[in-house]
Chain A
Amino acid sequence: MSVTGEDRISPPVFAARLIGRSLPDEIRDAVLEDMDELYRRRMKKSGVLRAQLWYCVQALSFTSRFLWERMRPSSDAAQLYERERVVMTTGISWIDVKLGARMLRKYPSVSIIGGLALAAAIALGATAFEYMRSQLHPDIPLPDGDRLVQVESWNSAELGVEQRVMYDLSVWRAQLESIEDLSAVRTFERNLIAADGATAPVRVAEVTASTFPLTGVQPLVGRALLASDEAAGAQPVAVLGYELWRDRFGGDRSVIGRSIRLGRADATVVGVMPDGYAFPHSQQAWVPLSMTARAPLEGAGIKVFGRLAKGASLEKAQVELDAVSRQIAAMSPATHAQISADVRLFGTSRRTSARPIIMLVLYIGTFMFLLAACANVATLVFARTAMRESEIVVRSALGATRRRVMSQLFAESLVLAGVSAVVGLGFVTAALRYRWHQTAVVQQVPQAFWADASLEPETILYSVLLAVAGAVLIGLLPAIRATGAQVQSALQNMRGGPSMRFGGVWSVIIVLQVAFTVLCLPVSIGASSEMRNDHTKRAEFPSKQVLTVRPELDRETGNSAATELTDAEYRTRMQTVYDEFRRRVLAEPGVTSVTFADALPGMSHPMVELEAQRGSGPVFMVNANRDGNAHISRVDVNFFEAFSIPIVSGRSFQPGDAGSPAAPVVINESLARNIGGNPLGVRLRTAAEGGSEAGSWHTVVGVHRNLQMDPTDRGETDMILVPSTLADAFPATMAIHMNRTLAGFAPRLNQIATKIDPGLRLYDPASLSELIRRRDLPGILASFAAIGTAAMAVILSAAGLYALVSVSVSRRTREVGIRLALGASTFSVMRSIFARSAAQVGTGILVGNVLAVTLVSVLSSQLKLDVLVPMLGVSLLMLLVGTIACTIPARRVLRVQPTDAFREV
């Protein structure tokens, strides 16, 4: 049976877990198998997306139906006892839950607005928890994965990780008892060249044979690497990953013994690892690493992994490692006096030690957000409860205890929070999948073998806890207020109308909310509109007919670190290979030019501070447009001709300009204006910063027209372009201009590259317009998220005001009716109703504006019109929103007939 790509796409893990948890043990496995079968049939019929959507809907259906089934009345005594026990311990019965569900339908505005606010808070909390969990305790899908560790050396003299630790590893292997199976790994990429010439880069790991026992995974076909493979002169061999074997060799078992070409060297395939194996990160093939004896700090850079011995803890291993490090420092003080070693769990990063503080800040931040959301929702729930005061009074009169009434009100909040948790988790799952699709599928960024796009059970549990906490906050406070002493007084005076009142807490919440909106909305809208304008300008650059690729060249002539080229040899080789590549690509039909830069127009450029000198005059700082900084880019000498960028003064680059430390430079019009006078002949250099010295002087030989791609408040960003060789511009991006469609040309480029040098690898073929889109997408999404948050604050403020006035109106219906009957004008009645709301909105607007003005004054020396105008606009908007929110319930009270009001007296 052939396996297609779609067949491998499993149902959503989160949904499958949901179904699994809702089912009784005895039918769980069988039903999940059946659902899997139905899912695959639907996928064939309607496609992956529809099938996944269907599966998610079914998960909700299973959860609700089987939950209901468990709550269903039954004659079975044990079940009855169980249900009674739940009611007795929590005070919540299944009828309360059912009533809670009905309340959602009966008050849709509270359900939708409150539910969305809670869902956003729970989604934020779940995202933060999932991120921290994946950073601190990644689930490594290997036997004893939680005992795998990485040992890393730190060179405090160079303030960097020291990877030349082959000597250290030999000592660690001999002396460490708390870490077993210490293995060395060196990762790189190679072109895998098939017999038909098809070429694609493959992620390879050069590993010691001990790596396979360390990870505890047996090969699917053939054998793993052996210690004898590491010996000098041994036949070069390779073990393939499952996906590589399946995709490039059709899953053919006879691949064992076949010779493959990895970059510039051949290797014989000896084994295939099972699906999912990609140690240490996302590797697709493994070749042996020779561990010949090395002197301290010699040999290639490696990473070292091991496994904690039985009974050994991370702390114990660190103590032992410290002792061994001191021994090595004593033996080799010249090289190791400044070197220490750390051991940490596999899959975590060096910065993990600082994570507990970040984690604490993150948790407090998300909990504050939950508190803010709950405070708002509590306002709405309180208003809803106030509307039902007569029901609560009657229930109390009929003998319901305070605890019983509170349980029911809490159960209603629990249902709202539960639905919000499901919505929030669904949103997080969709967002995780979108991010995974963008990075792993669209941008082809390799993902670690232990990473996935699903939520872990711990995160779901954490979200449930957040939902319960939310239910407590939004349910208990209104419940306590609603069942307090005033119920007794209401009971004594059944015709007295509602007695519940909004206190000062609600007023503070509304004031803060309005202030937050006035403060944040103009900033969010401004940032978003600026971001979209910038993107529109960048998108106007003629970039659709430009194919870009990122070239890389093997440093080694074979498949081992021993064959590495020196820096000088490598630079010469790279230039030779590039010159030949450009010559051959230009000979292809439809190609008009080939050039490169470290960052092409529209991509992100590094920023520098520039110093200038005119003749032998004084050196002065250039006040560039972007907060004093200019963009710098290293480009090919034909860059301006390739992109048809006009030179408005002086000259373009010439062959021979590149490669010199004092190469002439071309600047853009903005930089020319900021230098002042005639810029030609002026010398520029990067200013000294921190510990770094000033750069070499470069003479300005030309001025090019502004590209209008990076606007600032003061005009286009300043730009300085330095002619460069490919090696100096590394990592560079090549731009191939074509006057025909770009589609299908990337494989041809790979073929040309491999023919010139099998070690030349081309990554990420995409049009320049796509690169520009990728650069701007996160910013645009973030600005939309900011606007969404501010819009949510506007809606919650409006809902809070609406709730406040609703309660106030229902409390004063009789009074208003009498006043109207006695001849009071509509205006004076409305004024008395609006007084409190107007005070809250007014205070909020005032506080928000004062904060915004203070903030702008601190950040900028002068208040600008483009900040003040949006602030005024948002203030007016909040006033309008507040008025509408108050008017709707107020109109209700004005319709009261005076006769009705008198009848109630």
Chain B
Amino acid sequence: MPVQSLGEFEQMVLLAIVRLEGDVYGVPITEEIERCTGRSVSPAAVYVTLRRLEEKGYVRSWMSEALPEPGGKPRRCVRVRAAGLQALREARERMDALWRGLDPALRGVR
């Protein structure tokens, strides 16, 4: 199956899931993107993107057990599928190919 290309925000969401390791849900993903990029992220954008990624077959989701804390409730957890990792790698390769040889030219650019 040909791998569909990833948008910038889709890459961010996939990378955040990979960085957090294990089963994660919307709140930590939103916070991880905000922490790493230093910009405010709309939760709605994260959930829409997760839904698109799931439609593309890059992540899978399921309802977890209740969280181990007082009043903890079940959350919708996500995990990156192999196809998602492959799409990330390909996106990285495409970007690397475009960047290759440009470092000296961009050295003076701020």
Contact = CB atoms under 8 A, between A and B. Distances in A.
A24 B73 CA distance: 19
Given A30-B75, A31-B26, A62-B47, 19 more contacts: A1-B70, A23-B47, A27-B51, A30-B25, A30-B26, A30-B63, A30-B74, A33-B73, A34-B26, A34-B76, A35-B43, A37-B27, A38-B27, A58-B42, A58-B43, A61-B44, A65-B42, A66-B44, A69-B51
B45 interface: yes
A619 B66 CA distance: 84
Contacts of A1: 70
Nearest to A62: B44
Nearest to A61: B44
> What are the nearest 8 A-B pairs in CB distance?
A30-B76, A61-B44, A34-B26, A62-B44, A65-B44, A65-B48, A61-B42, A34-B27
Interface of B: 25-27, 30, 42-45, 47-48, 51-52, 63, 70, 73-76
Contacts of B51: 24, 27, 69
Given A58-B42, A58-B43, A34 B48 contact: no
Contacts of A58: 42-44
Contact of B25 (A24, A34, A61, A66): A34
B70 to A, nearest CB: 5
Contacts of A65: 42, 44-45, 48
Given A1-B70, A35-B43, A58-B42, A66 B48 contact: yes
Interface in A186-243: none
10 contacts: A27-B47, A27-B51, A30-B63, A31-B76, A34-B75, A35-B43, A38-B27, A61-B44, A65-B45, A66-B48
Contacts of A38: 27, 30, 43
Nearest to B63: A30
A33 B75 contact: yes
Contacts of B48: 65-66, 69
Interface in A2-60: 23-24, 27, 30-31, 33-35, 37-38, 58
Contacts of A62: 43-44, 47
Contacts of B30: 38
A462 to B, nearest CB: 26
A719 B77 CA distance: 73
Contacts of B26: 30-31, 34
Q: Which of A33, A35, A62 has the most CB of B within 10 A?
A: A33
Contacts of B27: 34, 37-38
Contacts of A69: 48, 51-52
B71 to A, nearest CB: 8
Nearest to A68: B48
B2 to A, nearest CB: 13
A30 B24 CA distance: 12
Contacts of A27: 47, 51, 76
A33 B73 CA distance: 8
A34 B43 contact: yes
Nearest to B61: A27
A451 B57 CA distance: 47
A371 to B, nearest CB: 36
A549 to B, nearest CB: 41
Contacts of A24: 51
A40 B44 CA distance: 17
Nearest to A1: B70
Interface string A57-100: 01001100110010000000000000000000000000000000
Contacts of A33: 73-75
Nearest to B74: A30
Contacts of B45: 61, 65
B47 A31 contact: yes
A222 B45 CA distance: 48
A452 B96 CA distance: 57
A34 B44 CA distance: 11
Contacts of B44: 58, 61-62, 65-66
B9 to A, nearest CB: 12
Interface in A709-753: none
Contacts of B47: 23, 27, 31, 62
Contacts of B52: 69
A35 B52 CA distance: 19
A37 B71 CA distance: 11
B82 to A, nearest CB: 22
A31 B48 CA distance: 11
Contacts of A61: 42-45
Nearest to B26: A34
A62 B46 CA distance: 10
Q: Name, among A31, A34, A65, the residue most crowded by chain B CB atoms within 10 Å (CB to CB).
A: A34
A58 B51 CA distance: 17
A33 B25 CA distance: 11
A76 to B, nearest CB: 9
A58 B76 CA distance: 19
A33 B76 CA distance: 10
B60 to A, nearest CB: 13
Contacts of B63: 30
Nearest to A31: B47
B95 to A, nearest CB: 25
B63 to A, nearest CB: 7
A65 B41 CA distance: 14
Nearest to B42: A61
A59 to B, nearest CB: 9
A333 B26 CA distance: 72
